[in-house]
Amino acid sequence: MKLHLVYTDSDVLLSKRTDATSHDFEDRYPTFKTSLGPWDPHDVIDFLAEEYANLVPSADVQVAEFLASPGESVRVRFA
């Protein structure tokens, strides 16, 4: 499974909607700014770990939890 990182005015989200376009994300998230992906989970983990030192729990834990969940998207959690 591949993932998108979705950026809004106030959040960074993980999304399983690999077929989604920027327009789809704009429709779903009114404050949408941009998205990255779709990426393999290990690439998302590497990116988040490098860009955000203040993730709690760590990027690998958050991505693993999200992949195991039935949800379509989830907010990335920071300390």
For 38-70, the pLDDT digits (tens) are 999 999 999 999 999 999 999 999 999 999 999
- Expressed as residue numbers, the domain containing 62 is 3-75
d(CA 64, CA 71): 12
pTM of the model: 0.94
d(CA 70, CA 79): 24
- Nearest Cα to Cα of residue 24 among 68, 72, 58, 65: 72
Tally the domains of the chain.
1
Give the tens place of pLDDT for each residue, 22-33: 999 999 999 999
